[in-house]
Amino acid sequence: MAGYIQMGMKDIITDSMPVQGTLYDPANEHDACGVGFVAQVNGRRSNRILEIGLHAICSLMHRGALDADAKTGDGAGITTQIPYKIFAKEVARMGHQLFQESDLAVGVLFLPHDNAYAQARAKAITEEVLKKRDLFLFGWREVPVNLRVLGDKAQLTMPRIEHVLIGKPWGMSDNDYERRLFLARNEIENIAEADQIRNFYIPSFSHRMICYKGLLVSASLEKFYQDLCDPDYETAFTVYHQRYSTNTFPTWPLAQPFRMLGHNGEINTVRGNRNWMEAREAELKADFWGKDIDLLKPIIQPGGSDSASLDNALEILSMSGRGILQAMHMLVPPAWRNDKRVSPELAAFYEYHSCICEPWDGPAALVFTDGITVGACLDRNGLRPARYKLTDDGIFSLGSEVGITGLDHESIIEKGRLAPGEMIAVDTAQGVLLRDEQIKNSLATRRDYKGWLQKNLTRIPDISASEIKVPEEKLDALSLTRQQVAFGYSSEDIDMILKPMFKDAAEAVGSMGDDTPLAVLSLRPRLLYTYFKQLFAQVTNPPIDPIREKLVMSLQTVMGWRRNLLSETGEHAEQVSLSSPVLSNET
Protein backbone atom coordinates (compact mmCIF):
# COMPACT_ATOMS: atom_id res chain seq x y z
CA MET A 1 0.00 0.00 0.00
CA ALA A 2 1.64 3.22 -1.12
CA GLY A 3 1.79 6.13 1.26
CA TYR A 4 2.93 9.69 1.70
CA ILE A 5 5.02 11.86 3.97
CA GLN A 6 6.91 15.06 3.34
CA MET A 7 10.55 15.14 4.31
CA GLY A 8 13.32 17.59 3.66
CA MET A 9 11.18 20.11 1.71
CA LYS A 10 10.18 17.48 -0.80
CA ASP A 11 7.67 14.65 -1.10
CA ILE A 12 8.68 11.10 -0.27
CA ILE A 13 6.67 8.05 -1.20
CA THR A 14 7.27 4.82 0.68
CA ASP A 15 5.46 1.55 0.30
CA SER A 16 5.29 1.02 4.06
CA MET A 17 3.49 4.29 4.82
CA PRO A 18 -0.30 4.74 4.97
CA VAL A 19 -2.04 6.75 2.26
CA GLN A 20 -3.17 10.36 2.48
CA GLY A 21 -6.48 10.78 4.24
CA THR A 22 -5.70 8.27 7.01
CA LEU A 23 -5.32 9.13 10.68
CA TYR A 24 -1.51 8.88 10.44
CA ASP A 25 0.29 12.19 10.90
CA PRO A 26 4.06 12.29 10.26
CA ALA A 27 4.33 15.19 12.72
CA ASN A 28 3.99 12.61 15.50
CA GLU A 29 7.20 10.74 14.64
CA HIS A 30 9.28 9.86 17.73
CA ASP A 31 12.41 7.83 18.41
CA ALA A 32 13.83 5.80 21.31
CA CYS A 33 17.05 4.19 20.25
CA GLY A 34 20.69 3.23 20.84
CA VAL A 35 23.28 5.90 20.09
CA GLY A 36 26.93 6.70 20.63
CA PHE A 37 30.27 7.68 19.13
CA VAL A 38 33.91 6.63 19.05
CA ALA A 39 36.74 9.13 18.51
CA GLN A 40 40.52 9.28 18.44
CA VAL A 41 41.26 12.21 20.73
CA ASN A 42 44.39 13.32 18.88
CA GLY A 43 42.42 13.48 15.62
CA ARG A 44 44.48 10.84 13.81
CA ARG A 45 42.43 8.93 11.25
CA SER A 46 42.43 5.14 11.20
CA ASN A 47 40.31 2.20 10.13
CA ARG A 48 40.22 1.03 13.75
CA ILE A 49 37.87 3.85 14.76
CA LEU A 50 35.41 2.67 12.10
CA GLU A 51 35.73 -0.95 13.25
CA ILE A 52 35.03 -0.02 16.88
CA GLY A 53 32.01 2.02 15.83
CA LEU A 54 30.61 -0.84 13.73
CA HIS A 55 31.19 -3.27 16.62
CA ALA A 56 29.32 -0.91 18.95
CA ILE A 57 26.32 -0.45 16.70
CA CYS A 58 26.05 -4.22 16.20
CA SER A 59 26.03 -4.59 20.00
CA LEU A 60 23.03 -2.24 20.13
CA MET A 61 20.99 -4.29 17.66
CA HIS A 62 18.57 -5.27 20.45
CA ARG A 63 17.61 -1.59 20.84
CA GLY A 64 15.89 -1.64 17.45
CA ALA A 65 12.80 -3.50 16.35
CA LEU A 66 12.79 -6.30 13.78
CA ASP A 67 10.21 -7.12 11.13
CA ALA A 68 8.80 -10.61 10.63
CA ASP A 69 11.30 -11.24 7.83
CA ALA A 70 14.12 -10.94 10.43
CA LYS A 71 16.01 -8.58 8.10
CA THR A 72 14.06 -5.33 7.92
CA GLY A 73 14.85 -3.12 10.90
CA ASP A 74 13.77 0.35 12.01
CA GLY A 75 16.96 1.84 10.64
CA ALA A 76 20.64 2.02 11.46
CA GLY A 77 23.52 4.17 10.31
CA ILE A 78 26.87 5.82 10.95
CA THR A 79 28.41 9.23 10.25
CA THR A 80 32.17 9.57 9.83
CA GLN A 81 34.71 11.90 8.35
CA ILE A 82 35.08 11.52 4.58
CA PRO A 83 37.47 8.60 3.89
CA TYR A 84 39.83 10.42 1.53
CA LYS A 85 41.79 7.33 0.49
CA ILE A 86 38.67 5.75 -0.99
CA PHE A 87 37.35 8.86 -2.72
CA ALA A 88 40.72 10.08 -4.01
CA LYS A 89 40.80 6.89 -6.08
CA GLU A 90 37.33 7.68 -7.40
CA VAL A 91 38.34 11.23 -8.32
CA ALA A 92 41.40 9.89 -10.15
CA ARG A 93 39.21 7.35 -11.96
CA MET A 94 37.08 10.25 -13.17
CA GLY A 95 40.18 11.91 -14.64
CA HIS A 96 40.81 14.54 -11.95
CA GLN A 97 43.30 15.15 -9.17
CA LEU A 98 42.81 16.64 -5.71
CA PHE A 99 45.22 19.44 -4.80
CA GLN A 100 44.41 18.87 -1.14
CA GLU A 101 42.07 16.35 0.48
CA SER A 102 39.86 18.95 2.17
CA ASP A 103 38.87 20.27 -1.29
CA LEU A 104 36.66 17.19 -1.72
CA ALA A 105 33.00 17.21 -0.74
CA VAL A 106 30.64 14.27 -1.03
CA GLY A 107 26.87 14.43 -1.33
CA VAL A 108 24.91 11.30 -0.47
CA LEU A 109 21.65 11.17 -2.44
CA PHE A 110 18.67 8.86 -1.99
CA LEU A 111 17.16 8.97 -5.49
CA PRO A 112 13.65 7.80 -6.46
CA HIS A 113 13.67 4.02 -6.49
CA ASP A 114 10.83 3.48 -8.93
CA ASN A 115 11.24 6.22 -11.52
CA ALA A 116 14.32 6.41 -13.77
CA TYR A 117 13.14 9.70 -15.28
CA ALA A 118 12.86 11.28 -11.81
CA GLN A 119 16.32 9.97 -10.97
CA ALA A 120 17.76 11.67 -14.04
CA ARG A 121 15.94 14.91 -13.25
CA ALA A 122 17.18 14.92 -9.64
CA LYS A 123 20.77 14.47 -10.80
CA ALA A 124 20.33 17.19 -13.43
CA ILE A 125 19.03 19.59 -10.76
CA THR A 126 22.06 18.79 -8.60
CA GLU A 127 24.47 19.52 -11.45
CA GLU A 128 22.68 22.77 -12.33
CA VAL A 129 22.85 24.03 -8.74
CA LEU A 130 26.51 23.06 -8.35
CA LYS A 131 27.35 25.00 -11.50
CA LYS A 132 25.33 27.99 -10.34
CA ARG A 133 27.15 27.95 -6.97
CA ASP A 134 30.61 27.68 -8.65
CA LEU A 135 31.18 24.25 -7.16
CA PHE A 136 33.19 21.88 -9.34
CA LEU A 137 31.57 18.56 -10.26
CA PHE A 138 34.06 15.69 -10.35
CA GLY A 139 31.35 13.17 -11.20
CA TRP A 140 28.85 10.61 -9.93
CA ARG A 141 29.49 7.37 -8.10
CA GLU A 142 26.97 4.58 -7.64
CA VAL A 143 27.39 3.34 -4.08
CA PRO A 144 28.31 -0.37 -4.00
CA VAL A 145 25.70 -2.24 -1.95
CA ASN A 146 24.71 -5.83 -1.22
CA LEU A 147 20.96 -6.19 -1.66
CA ARG A 148 20.87 -9.74 -0.31
CA VAL A 149 21.13 -8.55 3.31
CA LEU A 150 17.96 -6.44 3.06
CA GLY A 151 14.52 -7.60 4.05
CA ASP A 152 11.65 -7.62 1.57
CA LYS A 153 10.11 -4.36 2.81
CA ALA A 154 13.46 -2.59 2.78
CA GLN A 155 14.10 -3.73 -0.79
CA LEU A 156 10.68 -2.56 -1.97
CA THR A 157 11.33 0.97 -0.72
CA MET A 158 15.10 1.14 -1.18
CA PRO A 159 16.20 4.31 -3.00
CA ARG A 160 18.94 4.37 -5.60
CA ILE A 161 21.95 5.54 -3.58
CA GLU A 162 24.58 7.64 -5.34
CA HIS A 163 27.47 9.89 -4.33
CA VAL A 164 28.13 13.19 -6.06
CA LEU A 165 31.78 14.22 -5.77
CA ILE A 166 32.38 17.96 -5.56
CA GLY A 167 35.44 20.23 -5.63
CA LYS A 168 36.04 23.46 -3.69
CA PRO A 169 36.36 26.82 -5.47
CA TRP A 170 39.87 28.25 -5.37
CA GLY A 171 40.68 30.42 -2.34
CA MET A 172 37.51 29.68 -0.35
CA SER A 173 37.80 29.05 3.39
CA ASP A 174 36.63 25.75 4.87
CA ASN A 175 33.71 27.34 6.75
CA ASP A 176 32.54 29.25 3.68
CA TYR A 177 32.82 26.04 1.66
CA GLU A 178 30.60 24.18 4.12
CA ARG A 179 28.05 27.01 4.02
CA ARG A 180 28.11 27.00 0.22
CA LEU A 181 27.36 23.27 0.25
CA PHE A 182 24.55 23.83 2.76
CA LEU A 183 22.94 26.42 0.50
CA ALA A 184 23.39 24.18 -2.54
CA ARG A 185 21.68 21.28 -0.77
CA ASN A 186 18.75 23.46 0.25
CA GLU A 187 18.39 24.83 -3.27
CA ILE A 188 18.47 21.32 -4.75
CA GLU A 189 15.71 20.30 -2.34
CA ASN A 190 13.61 23.36 -3.18
CA ILE A 191 13.80 22.77 -6.93
CA ALA A 192 13.11 19.06 -6.51
CA GLU A 193 10.04 19.90 -4.45
CA ALA A 194 8.83 22.39 -7.05
CA ASP A 195 9.28 19.70 -9.73
CA GLN A 196 7.32 17.26 -7.53
CA ILE A 197 10.13 14.72 -7.40
CA ARG A 198 9.09 12.28 -4.73
CA ASN A 199 11.13 9.79 -2.74
CA PHE A 200 14.18 12.08 -2.92
CA TYR A 201 16.34 12.82 0.12
CA ILE A 202 19.90 13.97 0.87
CA PRO A 203 21.35 12.31 4.02
CA SER A 204 24.58 14.36 3.91
CA PHE A 205 26.15 17.03 1.68
CA SER A 206 29.45 18.10 3.21
CA HIS A 207 33.21 18.35 2.76
CA ARG A 208 33.77 17.16 6.33
CA MET A 209 31.53 14.16 6.96
CA ILE A 210 29.52 11.46 5.23
CA CYS A 211 26.53 9.38 6.31
CA TYR A 212 25.82 5.72 5.58
CA LYS A 213 22.37 4.67 6.78
CA GLY A 214 19.40 2.59 5.75
CA LEU A 215 16.28 0.65 6.64
CA LEU A 216 18.13 -2.33 8.05
CA VAL A 217 19.36 -3.83 11.29
CA SER A 218 22.72 -2.69 12.58
CA ALA A 219 24.40 -6.07 11.98
CA SER A 220 23.67 -5.69 8.26
CA LEU A 221 25.07 -2.17 7.89
CA GLU A 222 28.64 -3.21 7.11
CA LYS A 223 27.45 -6.01 4.84
CA PHE A 224 25.12 -3.72 2.91
CA TYR A 225 27.52 -0.81 2.33
CA GLN A 226 30.64 -2.39 0.87
CA ASP A 227 32.63 0.82 1.45
CA LEU A 228 32.57 0.01 5.16
CA CYS A 229 34.54 -3.20 4.52
CA ASP A 230 37.36 -1.33 2.77
CA PRO A 231 40.57 -1.16 4.90
CA ASP A 232 41.26 2.25 3.32
CA TYR A 233 38.22 3.68 5.10
CA GLU A 234 39.87 5.92 7.70
CA THR A 235 38.24 8.37 10.07
CA ALA A 236 38.96 10.06 13.41
CA PHE A 237 35.41 9.52 14.69
CA THR A 238 32.33 7.39 14.10
CA VAL A 239 28.85 8.41 15.20
CA TYR A 240 26.45 5.46 15.22
CA HIS A 241 22.72 4.98 15.75
CA GLN A 242 20.29 2.07 15.95
CA ARG A 243 16.73 3.33 15.61
CA TYR A 244 13.67 2.13 17.47
CA SER A 245 10.71 3.88 15.87
CA THR A 246 8.17 4.56 18.59
CA ASN A 247 4.60 4.44 17.25
CA THR A 248 5.90 5.41 13.81
CA PHE A 249 6.57 3.96 10.38
CA PRO A 250 10.24 3.19 9.62
CA THR A 251 11.56 4.71 6.39
CA TRP A 252 14.96 5.10 4.75
CA PRO A 253 15.16 8.89 5.31
CA LEU A 254 14.16 8.63 8.99
CA ALA A 255 17.03 6.28 9.81
CA GLN A 256 19.69 8.04 11.85
CA PRO A 257 22.15 9.71 12.28
CA PHE A 258 20.69 12.79 10.67
CA ARG A 259 22.91 15.46 9.18
CA MET A 260 24.43 16.56 12.49
CA LEU A 261 23.05 14.42 15.30
CA GLY A 262 21.71 11.12 16.56
CA HIS A 263 19.09 11.03 19.30
CA ASN A 264 17.88 8.50 21.85
CA GLY A 265 14.62 9.55 23.46
CA GLU A 266 11.84 11.96 22.62
CA ILE A 267 11.40 15.72 22.33
CA ASN A 268 8.25 16.30 24.33
CA THR A 269 8.03 20.01 23.47
CA VAL A 270 8.47 19.49 19.73
CA ARG A 271 5.19 21.07 18.61
CA GLY A 272 5.93 24.33 20.41
CA ASN A 273 9.56 24.25 19.29
CA ARG A 274 8.52 23.88 15.66
CA ASN A 275 5.97 26.69 15.92
CA TRP A 276 8.46 29.09 17.53
CA MET A 277 11.10 28.36 14.90
CA GLU A 278 8.59 29.07 12.17
CA ALA A 279 7.56 32.31 13.89
CA ARG A 280 11.17 33.55 13.83
CA GLU A 281 11.73 32.99 10.11
CA ALA A 282 10.63 36.53 9.24
CA GLU A 283 13.43 37.95 11.42
CA LEU A 284 16.26 35.88 9.95
CA LYS A 285 19.23 37.78 8.55
CA ALA A 286 23.00 37.40 8.45
CA ASP A 287 25.69 39.06 6.36
CA PHE A 288 27.23 35.84 5.09
CA TRP A 289 23.86 34.45 3.92
CA GLY A 290 22.94 37.69 2.15
CA LYS A 291 20.24 37.31 -0.51
CA ASP A 292 20.27 33.53 0.00
CA ILE A 293 18.62 33.85 3.42
CA ASP A 294 15.33 32.51 2.05
CA LEU A 295 17.03 29.20 1.28
CA LEU A 296 17.22 28.65 5.03
CA LYS A 297 13.42 28.58 5.24
CA PRO A 298 11.58 26.68 6.49
CA ILE A 299 14.02 26.14 9.33
CA ILE A 300 12.19 22.98 10.35
CA GLN A 301 11.60 20.82 7.31
CA PRO A 302 8.04 19.44 7.39
CA GLY A 303 7.36 15.74 7.75
CA GLY A 304 10.39 14.87 9.87
CA SER A 305 10.53 13.18 13.25
CA ASP A 306 11.17 15.07 16.48
CA SER A 307 14.86 14.15 16.12
CA ALA A 308 14.95 15.43 12.54
CA SER A 309 13.43 18.75 13.63
CA LEU A 310 16.05 19.19 16.35
CA ASP A 311 18.71 18.38 13.75
CA ASN A 312 17.34 21.14 11.50
CA ALA A 313 17.54 23.68 14.33
CA LEU A 314 21.06 22.60 15.29
CA GLU A 315 22.24 22.83 11.70
CA ILE A 316 21.06 26.39 11.05
CA LEU A 317 22.49 27.67 14.37
CA SER A 318 25.89 26.03 13.98
CA MET A 319 26.13 26.97 10.29
CA SER A 320 25.38 30.59 11.16
CA GLY A 321 28.47 31.17 13.25
CA ARG A 322 27.68 30.04 16.77
CA GLY A 323 29.50 26.72 16.72
CA ILE A 324 28.04 23.34 17.51
CA LEU A 325 28.77 23.38 21.26
CA GLN A 326 27.06 26.72 21.81
CA ALA A 327 24.16 25.71 19.56
CA MET A 328 23.58 22.52 21.56
CA HIS A 329 23.58 24.48 24.84
CA MET A 330 21.04 26.90 23.37
CA LEU A 331 18.71 24.11 22.28
CA VAL A 332 19.17 21.67 25.18
CA PRO A 333 20.27 23.68 28.26
CA PRO A 334 20.85 22.06 31.66
CA ALA A 335 18.85 22.88 34.78
CA TRP A 336 20.75 25.96 35.94
CA ARG A 337 18.38 28.24 37.87
CA ASN A 338 18.41 26.31 41.17
CA ASP A 339 21.92 24.89 40.83
CA LYS A 340 24.21 26.70 43.28
CA ARG A 341 27.30 25.32 41.52
CA VAL A 342 26.56 27.40 38.41
CA SER A 343 28.71 30.54 38.28
CA PRO A 344 27.05 33.94 37.74
CA GLU A 345 28.66 34.19 34.30
CA LEU A 346 27.34 30.79 33.22
CA ALA A 347 23.89 31.55 34.63
CA ALA A 348 23.91 34.78 32.61
CA PHE A 349 24.83 32.78 29.48
CA TYR A 350 21.78 30.54 29.90
CA GLU A 351 19.41 33.34 30.88
CA TYR A 352 20.50 35.43 27.90
CA HIS A 353 19.89 32.56 25.48
CA SER A 354 16.47 31.91 27.03
CA CYS A 355 15.57 35.29 25.54
CA ILE A 356 16.40 33.90 22.09
CA CYS A 357 15.40 30.27 22.05
CA GLU A 358 13.19 27.86 24.01
CA PRO A 359 14.63 24.55 25.25
CA TRP A 360 13.91 21.39 23.26
CA ASP A 361 12.91 19.33 26.26
CA GLY A 362 13.78 15.61 26.40
CA PRO A 363 14.21 12.91 27.49
CA ALA A 364 17.23 13.04 25.23
CA ALA A 365 20.67 11.52 24.90
CA LEU A 366 22.22 13.34 21.96
CA VAL A 367 25.37 12.64 19.97
CA PHE A 368 26.37 15.38 17.54
CA THR A 369 29.13 16.41 15.14
CA ASP A 370 30.01 19.11 12.62
CA GLY A 371 32.75 16.98 11.09
CA ILE A 372 35.45 18.44 13.35
CA THR A 373 34.03 18.35 16.87
CA VAL A 374 32.09 15.29 18.00
CA GLY A 375 30.32 15.17 21.33
CA ALA A 376 27.36 14.10 23.42
CA CYS A 377 25.03 15.59 26.01
CA LEU A 378 22.04 14.72 28.14
CA ASP A 379 18.99 16.91 28.66
CA ARG A 380 18.35 18.40 32.09
CA ASN A 381 16.32 15.41 33.34
CA GLY A 382 18.94 12.84 32.36
CA LEU A 383 16.45 10.05 31.72
CA ARG A 384 18.56 8.37 29.00
CA PRO A 385 21.91 6.64 29.63
CA ALA A 386 25.25 7.81 28.23
CA ARG A 387 28.35 6.01 29.50
CA TYR A 388 31.91 6.59 28.34
CA LYS A 389 35.41 5.10 28.42
CA LEU A 390 38.86 6.48 27.64
CA THR A 391 41.80 4.22 26.74
CA ASP A 392 45.51 4.75 27.26
CA ASP A 393 46.00 5.21 23.50
CA GLY A 394 43.49 8.06 23.34
CA ILE A 395 40.34 6.35 22.11
CA PHE A 396 37.19 7.84 23.60
CA SER A 397 33.92 5.95 23.32
CA LEU A 398 30.44 6.85 24.54
CA GLY A 399 27.25 4.88 24.13
CA SER A 400 23.82 4.00 25.45
CA GLU A 401 25.24 0.93 27.18
CA VAL A 402 28.53 -0.30 28.64
CA GLY A 403 30.62 -3.04 27.08
CA ILE A 404 29.50 -2.44 23.49
CA THR A 405 32.80 -1.37 21.92
CA GLY A 406 34.89 -4.47 22.63
CA LEU A 407 37.80 -2.37 23.95
CA ASP A 408 40.46 -4.16 26.01
CA HIS A 409 39.65 -3.60 29.69
CA GLU A 410 43.34 -3.32 30.57
CA SER A 411 43.70 -0.32 28.24
CA ILE A 412 40.92 1.69 29.89
CA ILE A 413 42.22 4.51 32.09
CA GLU A 414 38.90 6.26 32.77
CA LYS A 415 35.23 5.42 32.69
CA GLY A 416 32.12 7.31 33.71
CA ARG A 417 28.73 8.55 32.69
CA LEU A 418 27.14 11.83 31.75
CA ALA A 419 24.97 13.35 34.45
CA PRO A 420 21.80 15.32 33.66
CA GLY A 421 22.65 18.44 31.66
CA GLU A 422 26.28 17.46 31.12
CA MET A 423 28.22 17.55 27.86
CA ILE A 424 31.51 16.05 26.69
CA ALA A 425 33.22 16.46 23.33
CA VAL A 426 36.34 15.69 21.31
CA ASP A 427 37.87 18.41 19.15
CA THR A 428 39.69 16.39 16.49
CA ALA A 429 41.31 19.51 14.98
CA GLN A 430 42.94 20.55 18.26
CA GLY A 431 43.33 16.98 19.50
CA VAL A 432 41.72 17.57 22.91
CA LEU A 433 39.01 16.03 25.03
CA LEU A 434 36.68 18.79 26.23
CA ARG A 435 35.08 18.18 29.64
CA ASP A 436 31.73 19.59 30.74
CA GLU A 437 33.15 22.31 33.00
CA GLN A 438 35.68 23.39 30.39
CA ILE A 439 33.02 23.67 27.67
CA LYS A 440 30.65 25.68 29.86
CA ASN A 441 33.31 28.05 31.15
CA SER A 442 34.45 28.73 27.61
CA LEU A 443 30.91 29.51 26.47
CA ALA A 444 30.16 31.72 29.49
CA THR A 445 33.08 34.03 28.70
CA ARG A 446 32.39 34.45 24.97
CA ARG A 447 30.45 37.67 25.52
CA ASP A 448 29.52 39.96 28.38
CA TYR A 449 26.18 38.21 28.84
CA LYS A 450 25.88 39.41 32.44
CA GLY A 451 26.33 43.03 31.40
CA TRP A 452 23.83 42.66 28.56
CA LEU A 453 21.21 41.30 30.98
CA GLN A 454 21.80 44.01 33.58
CA LYS A 455 21.42 46.70 30.95
CA ASN A 456 18.48 45.35 28.96
CA LEU A 457 16.43 42.72 30.84
CA THR A 458 13.50 44.00 32.90
CA ARG A 459 12.78 41.76 35.87
CA ILE A 460 9.38 41.75 37.57
CA PRO A 461 10.14 41.10 41.28
CA ASP A 462 8.52 38.21 43.08
CA ILE A 463 5.54 39.11 45.24
CA SER A 464 5.37 37.23 48.53
CA ALA A 465 2.09 35.91 49.86
CA SER A 466 2.10 38.53 52.61
CA GLU A 467 2.16 41.34 50.02
CA ILE A 468 -0.88 40.12 48.09
CA LYS A 469 -3.96 42.04 49.10
CA VAL A 470 -6.87 39.78 49.94
CA PRO A 471 -10.34 41.37 49.85
CA GLU A 472 -11.62 41.87 53.38
CA GLU A 473 -15.20 41.19 52.32
CA LYS A 474 -16.37 37.80 53.56
CA LEU A 475 -18.86 35.86 51.49
CA ASP A 476 -21.76 34.10 53.16
CA ALA A 477 -22.48 30.52 52.14
CA LEU A 478 -25.27 31.49 49.73
CA SER A 479 -23.20 34.15 47.93
CA LEU A 480 -20.23 31.78 47.72
CA THR A 481 -22.39 29.06 46.22
CA ARG A 482 -23.89 31.48 43.69
CA GLN A 483 -20.43 32.59 42.54
CA GLN A 484 -19.21 29.00 42.32
CA VAL A 485 -22.16 28.11 40.12
CA ALA A 486 -21.71 31.26 38.05
CA PHE A 487 -18.07 30.40 37.37
CA GLY A 488 -18.79 26.75 36.61
CA TYR A 489 -17.48 25.00 39.70
CA SER A 490 -19.24 21.79 40.70
CA SER A 491 -19.34 20.09 44.09
CA GLU A 492 -17.04 17.45 42.64
CA ASP A 493 -14.48 20.17 41.77
CA ILE A 494 -14.67 21.45 45.34
CA ASP A 495 -14.32 18.06 47.03
CA MET A 496 -11.90 16.30 44.68
CA ILE A 497 -9.65 19.14 43.51
CA LEU A 498 -9.83 22.31 45.60
CA LYS A 499 -10.04 20.82 49.10
CA PRO A 500 -6.96 18.59 48.69
CA MET A 501 -5.07 21.62 47.35
CA PHE A 502 -6.03 23.72 50.39
CA LYS A 503 -5.30 20.89 52.81
CA ASP A 504 -2.02 19.51 51.41
CA ALA A 505 -0.67 22.47 49.38
CA ALA A 506 -0.30 20.12 46.44
CA GLU A 507 -2.23 19.22 43.33
CA ALA A 508 -4.65 16.35 43.81
CA VAL A 509 -3.51 13.08 42.23
CA GLY A 510 -5.99 10.44 41.16
CA SER A 511 -6.23 7.33 39.05
CA MET A 512 -8.93 5.66 36.95
CA GLY A 513 -10.29 7.20 33.79
CA ASP A 514 -11.88 10.58 33.20
CA ASP A 515 -15.31 10.06 31.67
CA THR A 516 -16.19 13.75 31.62
CA PRO A 517 -17.11 14.82 28.07
CA LEU A 518 -14.61 17.03 26.26
CA ALA A 519 -15.47 20.66 26.95
CA VAL A 520 -15.80 21.48 23.27
CA LEU A 521 -18.43 18.73 22.91
CA SER A 522 -20.22 19.27 26.22
CA LEU A 523 -23.75 20.67 26.33
CA ARG A 524 -23.08 22.27 29.74
CA PRO A 525 -21.13 25.49 30.39
CA ARG A 526 -17.53 24.69 31.29
CA LEU A 527 -14.59 26.52 32.81
CA LEU A 528 -12.17 28.05 30.32
CA TYR A 529 -9.20 25.88 31.31
CA THR A 530 -11.17 22.65 30.68
CA TYR A 531 -11.03 23.40 26.94
CA PHE A 532 -7.28 22.72 27.01
CA LYS A 533 -5.57 19.36 27.41
CA GLN A 534 -1.92 18.83 28.27
CA LEU A 535 0.21 16.90 25.79
CA PHE A 536 2.29 14.16 27.36
CA ALA A 537 4.95 11.69 26.36
CA GLN A 538 3.44 8.41 25.24
CA VAL A 539 6.19 5.93 25.96
CA THR A 540 8.49 5.49 28.96
CA ASN A 541 8.57 8.88 30.63
CA PRO A 542 7.42 9.43 34.24
CA PRO A 543 4.95 12.21 35.09
CA ILE A 544 6.70 15.49 35.80
CA ASP A 545 5.71 18.99 36.85
CA PRO A 546 7.60 22.15 37.88
CA ILE A 547 6.48 21.96 41.52
CA ARG A 548 7.60 18.43 42.35
CA GLU A 549 10.63 18.69 40.04
CA LYS A 550 11.76 22.22 40.92
CA LEU A 551 15.43 21.20 40.75
CA VAL A 552 15.20 20.61 37.00
CA MET A 553 12.20 22.72 36.00
CA SER A 554 11.30 26.37 36.22
CA LEU A 555 8.23 28.53 35.69
CA GLN A 556 10.39 31.52 34.75
CA THR A 557 8.76 33.23 31.77
CA VAL A 558 10.32 35.67 29.32
CA MET A 559 8.10 37.99 27.30
CA GLY A 560 8.93 40.33 24.47
CA TRP A 561 10.14 40.59 20.90
CA ARG A 562 12.33 37.64 19.93
CA ARG A 563 14.94 39.12 17.62
CA ASN A 564 17.02 37.62 14.83
CA LEU A 565 17.85 34.03 15.72
CA LEU A 566 21.14 34.13 13.83
CA SER A 567 22.76 37.08 15.62
CA GLU A 568 23.94 37.77 19.16
CA THR A 569 23.60 41.30 20.55
CA GLY A 570 22.75 43.00 23.81
CA GLU A 571 19.40 44.10 22.37
CA HIS A 572 18.29 40.45 22.29
CA ALA A 573 17.91 40.72 26.10
CA GLU A 574 15.41 43.61 25.89
CA GLN A 575 12.60 41.55 27.39
CA VAL A 576 10.53 41.19 30.53
CA SER A 577 11.30 38.31 32.90
CA LEU A 578 8.62 36.89 35.22
CA SER A 579 9.15 34.24 37.87
CA SER A 580 5.84 32.66 36.94
CA PRO A 581 3.31 32.89 34.10
CA VAL A 582 0.58 33.39 36.75
CA LEU A 583 -0.03 37.09 37.34
CA SER A 584 -1.74 38.85 40.22
CA ASN A 585 -2.95 42.44 40.50
CA GLU A 586 0.27 43.27 42.34
CA THR A 587 2.56 42.02 39.57
Give the H or E element holding residue 274. Answer: helix 270-279
Torsions phi, psi for 178 (to 5 deg): -65, -40
Map residue 434 onto helix, strand or coil. Answer: strand
Active site residue 211: no
Where b means 16+ CB within 10 Å and e means fewer, 136-170 reads eebebbeeebeeebbbebbbebbbbbbbbbbbbee
Q: Environment class of residue 31 by beta-carbon count within 10 Å: exposed (0-12), middle (13-18) or buried (19+)?
A: buried
Map residue 149 onto helix, strand or coil. Answer: helix
- In angstroms, the CA 334 to CA 330 distance is 10
Q: Write the secondary structure of 377-426 as one string of H (helix), E (strand) and C (coil).
A: EECCCCCCCCEEEEECCCEEEEECCCCCCCCCHHHEEEEEECCCCCEEEE
Give the H or E element holding residue 5. Answer: strand 5-6
CB 235 within 8 A of CB 52: no
Which one from 33, 58, 211, 355 is the annotated catalytic residue?
A: 33
Torsions phi, psi for 395 (to 5 deg): -95, 125
Give residue 254's Cα distance to chain centre: 12
DSSP conformation class of 299: S
Q: Environment class of residue 292 by beta-carbon count within 10 Å: exposed (0-12), middle (13-18) or buried (19+)?
A: middle
Q: Environment class of residue 106 by beta-carbon count within 10 Å: exposed (0-12), middle (13-18) or buried (19+)?
A: buried
Q: Is the peptide bond before 159 cis (omega within 30 degrees of 0)?
A: no
Give residue 500's Cα distance to chain centre: 40
- In angstroms, the CA 504 to CA 417 distance is 38
Where b means 16+ CB within 10 Å and e means fewer, 357-386 reads bbbbbbbbbbbbbbbbbbbbbbbbbbbbeb
Catalytic residue annotation: 33
